[in-house]
Structure 1
Amino acid sequence: MHRPKRLTITAAVAAAAALVLTGCSGGGASDDASTGTSKGGTLDILTAQTALHWDPATSQSLGITSMGLVARRLTTWDVQPGKTAKVVPDLATTTGESSDGGKTWTYTLKDGLKFQDGTPITTKDIKWGIERSFAPNLTGGLSYHKSLLVGGSDYQGPFEGKTLDSIETPDDKTIVFKLDAPYGDWPWLASMPAFAPVPEGEGTDTGAYDAKPVSSGPYQIESNTQGSQVTLVRNKEWSAKTDSIRTAGPSKIVFKESQDASTTTQSLIADNGDAKNSFGAQFLGAAELNQVRANPAAQDRLATSKAGPITYMAINTQRGKLADLEVRQALQYAVDRKSFRIAAGGALAGEYASTLVTPGIAGRKDYDLYKTGATGDVDKAKQLLQEAGATDLRLTLVTQNDPTYLAQAQALQAGLERAGITVTLKPLDYDSFTQATTNGTDFDLSLSSWQPDFPSANANIQPLYDSSQIGGGGYNVSKYSNPEVDALIAKATGTVDQSEAQQLWAQADRRTMEDAPVVPLIYAKQSFLAGSNVENFRIADFPAYPNYLKVSLAQ
């Protein structure tokens, strides 16, 4: 997640702007006719985060955002507006050759790959980088691969001299992965941060490496002052001949940390000085969007995603009356999605949701098992509660203690109370909220959001609804367990043919919603603001973020 990636991790769900764009691009001549990318200038990226993680072992950065500027992986993402996201080779020559029914995946490195010091990148560096991600003191990164590699569940990393034998490097160009079971989405996993090369033997001082890793991408870290700024400059050893995804437009990129969201928005609206060459890394909340709506010139510099990340109300299926399917079905009808969307920022905050697989994901099937108007069906909800003997339902809804989340939670509270359901709100700070929902069970409902880590239905379904993800920091916050769904997930996960896998994921989606473990609310749209000199500031159909790897500055 784990982002959004998962929205519960990074920020409140944002409203979309009055002017909907798939992206925006400033003017300016280009000196690279083949890519339409101007070269030069200093790009400022303004973020509210107080520290950015640059260690591939601990990063949750999406493939097209910050880490992608510094660290290449075996594969990466080709994302463009109006097109389905594709996995494509990055350091490797292919997206992976599978054998043994999908239990073995083999990659060959491209020629001419180098670290920032000119040292050739070998498969031993990739193996070392992945092994580091298993170290107990390197936590928080995307960890799908850890449970899939043979021996991964017991491996504790390479710092004590032990290797993971299921990662083989027969020569400097070839790397082979041995999995416990077939996994059709392994090419997507090979695009995760942990699959970036780390020079073999380096990164034992984990704090230092997190601040200043060895670069394999078009930029390297020149300086890093935590809480203040991180400055990236060109990596002269990077070659565009081996990289078809990154355009490396700006000469320098500066991440300015600890930025106040409102101040950042006001600065970008004013569009003076350095703000012309800047964009905001956080998507805009309702308050910030209202500021942009008041300025037509600023609206022209706004990039808004299509509907994508899902916002939903999770139902603790193992708690009290909520274990009864009829009660959970009653909640589907009792919710007032219209009021919820208004609280999220208005009609353009997103589209009403009914499925678990989100828009922009290949193979998604649209359906609605609980058809009702946007305001719900209170009479139907009351009928179901009556039949279930739950006419005096009292529930606790946990949410993040943030103005946007609180407004949305209050809309849910009011909607449910129309059906005679008493709802008590329990606002928590982010860390407490995450702990309460992923490890705890002392709640009835949770206002949650999810941005898949990679564009496959797998990343929508398995982390949220597989029973193995209950507790222990897993994101099955509904505590949902159904052996039939688990079996569908396992079968889909192990299917290498993607068209077949997509059909299985669609079945898992629908079968899960038959049990009503969550109430889908909206597929959120996310808006980002840039200065007038920022070019190629676009948001593809997935993910709902600007593609940092393509952004440039007018010259």
Structure 2
Amino acid sequence: MKSKRLVPLAAAGAAAVMALSACGGTATNGDGGGGGGGSTPAFNAALKDVFNPSDKKGGTIKVANSGTWDSLDPGETYYGYSWNFVRLYGRSLVMFKSAPGAASNELVPDLAESLGVPSEGGKVWTYKLRDGITFEDGTPVTSKDVKHAVLRSTDKQTFPNGPAYFEAFLNLPEGYKGPYKSKGVNTDQAIETPDDKTIVFKLKQPFGGFDYMAQLPQTIPVPEAKDTGAEYRNTVLSTGPYKFEGLQPDKSFALVRNDKWDPATDPNRKALPDRYEVTMNVNADDIDNQLISGDIHIDIAGTGVQPNSLARILGDPALKDQSDNPTIARLWYTSINPTVKPFDNIECRKAVQYAIDRTGYQTAMGGQFAGGDLATTVLPPPSRATRSSTCTRRARTARATSRRPRRR
């Protein structure tokens, strides 16, 4: 079955699910008019367009997480919702376009002036950084900061949870273990910084899709002088429109405006809200209730409305009109062990396949809304809705979706 989830989701984050926007109650969001994707609530109204868009600045977005972040450190994070959220405080070399639907498949420059320039048949990739980008303390961002960020992420003892693509693709020195354990080792054969604005990646073999690696959070710059290793997740220096305030690990934090962020250097982010307030380890049922009341605006993980809320939302036309039900690119399936008799006989396996009550199986998994649609292929294509905004409140964020689903 194609997987679906009824989810309280007011902005980006999760791989696709039925999304319930925050509604009711008093919100601190700035007002804004309709347009673009329309302003009249309706079921699935946000699957193809941004619903009720606004360009008005101000207000607070309140975010809840039923668990905790895997890491706020851009060099270690691996969750899809975290890759979305990191774009509020970090800028990678390139990024996916902040747009709903199919437009969000497009890679656009972010920290870099343009997409990568390949040479040597795609074995070497060069990026030039934009002028005027600084960290939150006013220090200019240089290519060396990007190089250090990428190299530190290859240390999987210090950062065990992050992706391992760069160490697999870069032409790193044999036995290289990252800048902490291999301090002083010359890594120019893998990453070269001929000047403060230029970074050159050198691969083991040609790879035409390197821009997709350059959009990873691991290219968000980290200054070596301020790098605290595994503790950096609690002291991240911002290069984006927001910076951290009052971080209490696994409990709460806020993002407030970064006065060193220059919108003239950033064509991708509108940075409309004044602040984000994030609370972690919130009971999942409470998240649903607070979304419905309007006390919070985003369930950041977006893993699904709880069973206690499902019937309530679907049974109330007003709440259902505040909901969306996109499909994620994932299947629920039951496998047959082909080494156990009689299933070592392919005809027996076919018989089970023909005889199974698919509708009954779907119902047992939660029905159309919680269990998903019946799949017709082994690998369903990702829905455009997976990448689209689902916020139906009036305050908007300059967020976008990641191509990486949350790990399980």
TM-score w.r.t. length of structure 2: 0.76
Residue aligning to 1:48? 66
AA at the equivalent of 1:89: P
Name the SS of the counterpart of 1:201 in structure 2: helix
Aligned residues of 1:304 and 1:527 also touching (Cα < 8 A) = no
Quote the offset at 1:56 in angstroms: 1.4
1:353 is the counterpart of 2:371:
no
Give the secondary structure class of the aligned counterpart of 1:263: helix
Q: In angstroms, what is the RMSD of aligned CA positions?
A: 3.8
Q: Which structure 1 segments of 5+ residues have no match?
A: 5-9, 28-34, 363-523, 546-555
Task: Indicate yes or no: 2:239 matched with 1:221.
Answer: no
Question: CA contact under 8 A between 1:73 and 1:192: conserved in structure 2?
Answer: yes
The 1:123–1:345 alpha-carbon spacing in structure 2 relative to 1, beyond 3 Å, is same
Instruction: Find the counterpart in structure 1 of residue 260 from structure 2.
Output: 237
Contact 1:47 1:258 (C-alpha < 8 Å) held by counterparts: yes
Q: Note if contact 2:50-2:389 (Cα within 8 Å) is conserved in structure 1.
A: no
- Identify which of 48, 55, 80 aligns with 2:99: 80
Q: Is the 8 A contact 2:329 2:380 kept in 1?
A: yes
C-alpha displacement at 1:267, in angstroms? 1.8
Query: CA separation of 1:526/1:319 partners in 2, compared to 1, >3 Å: closer, same or farther?
Result: farther
| Of 114-123 and 146-155, the range deviating more from structure 2 | 146-155
Q: Deviations over 1:395-421 (max 9, x none)?
A: xxxxxxxxxxxxxxxxxxxxxxxxxxx
Q: Would the alpha carbon gap of residues 216 and 324 (structure 1) be closer, same or farther in structure 2, given more than 3 Å must change?
A: farther
Aligned twin of 2:146: 126
Listed as ranges, the matches of 1:278-357 within 5 Å are 278-281=297-300, 282-285=302-305, 287=307, 288-305=309-326, 307-313=327-333, 326=346, 330=350, 333=354, 336-349=357-370, 350-357=372-379
Q: Give deviations 1:155-175, integer Å, cap 9, x for gaps.
A: 210013135331111111111
Counterpart Cα distance in 2 of 1:56 and 1:322: 50
Q: Secondary structure at the match of 2:288?
A: helix
Higher strand share: 1
CA 1:143 to 1:542, structure 2 compared with 1: closer, same or farther past 3 Å? Answer: closer
Residue identity matched to 1:352? L
- The structure 1 residue matched to 2:223, chosen from 176, 183, 199, is 199
Cα deviation, residue 529, structure 1: 8.0
The residue number in structure 1 matching 2:177 is: 156
Task: Indicate if the aligned counterparts of 1:92 and 1:110 stay in contact, CA closer than 8 A.
Answer: yes
**Cα distance change, pair 340–238 in 1 and its aligned pair in 2 (3 A):** farther
**1: CA distance between counterparts of 2:151 and 2:375?**
39
SS in 2 for 1:40: coil
Q: Report Cα offsets for 1:271-309 as digits up to 9, x if no partner.
A: 3xx43xx2222232361332322333333333443x232
Superposition deviation, residue 537 in structure 1: 9.6
Distance change >3 Å, CA 38–CA 104, structure 1 → 2:
same
Scaled by the length of structure 1, what TM-score is found? 0.57
* Aligned mates of 1:74, 1:299 — CA distance in 2: 39
Report the secondary structure of 1:138's partner residue.
coil
Paired letter, 1:359: P
In 1: Cα distance, 2:207 partner to 2:255 partner: 36
Taking the aligned partners of 1:228 and 1:239, their CA distance within structure 2 comes to 30
Give the deviation of 1:138 after TM superposition: 1.1
Q: Contact 1:116–1:220 at 8 Å: present in 2 too? A: yes
2:24 aligned partner: none
> Structure 1 residues 50, 235: closer, same or farther in 2, change over 3 A?
same
Q: What number of residue pairs does the alignment pair up?
A: 363
Gaps of 5+ in 2: 5-12, 21-41
The yes-or-no answer on 1:210 pairing with 2:233 is yes
Structure 1 residues 319 and 257: CA distance shift in structure 2, 3 A: farther
Structure 1 residue 229: deviation in Å? 0.8
Aligned to 1:476: none
**Kept after mapping to 2: 8 A contact 1:283/1:526:** no
State how far apart, in whole Å, the 2-side matches of 1:16 and 1:332 are: 32
Contact 2:325 2:369 in 1 (8 A): no
Which amino acid in 2 is paired with 1:77? F
Distance 2:106 2:388 in 1: 23
The worse-fitting range, judged by mean Cα deviation, of 18-27 and 230-239 is 18-27
- Aligned match for 2:211, one of 187, 190, 193: 187
3-state DSSP of counterpart to 2:151: helix
Aligned with 1:132: secondary structure? helix
- Would you say the 8 A contact 2:122–2:207 is kept in 1? yes
The equivalent of 2:25 in structure 1 is none
Q: Secondary structure at the match of 2:225?
A: coil
Q: Which structure exhibits the higher relative contact order, with contacts defined as CA atoms closer than 8 Å and separated by 6 or more residues? A: 2
One-letter amino acid of the counterpart of residue 78, structure 1: K
1:339 Cα deviation after fit: 3.1
User: Deviations 1:300-333 (Å, cap 9, x if unpaired)?
Assistant: 333443x232124375989667996938963655
**5 Å matches for 1:288-437?**
288-305=309-326, 307-313=327-333, 326=346, 330=350, 333=354, 336-349=357-370, 350-360=372-382
1:178 to 166, 183, 202: 202
Residue in 1 aligned with 2:36?
none
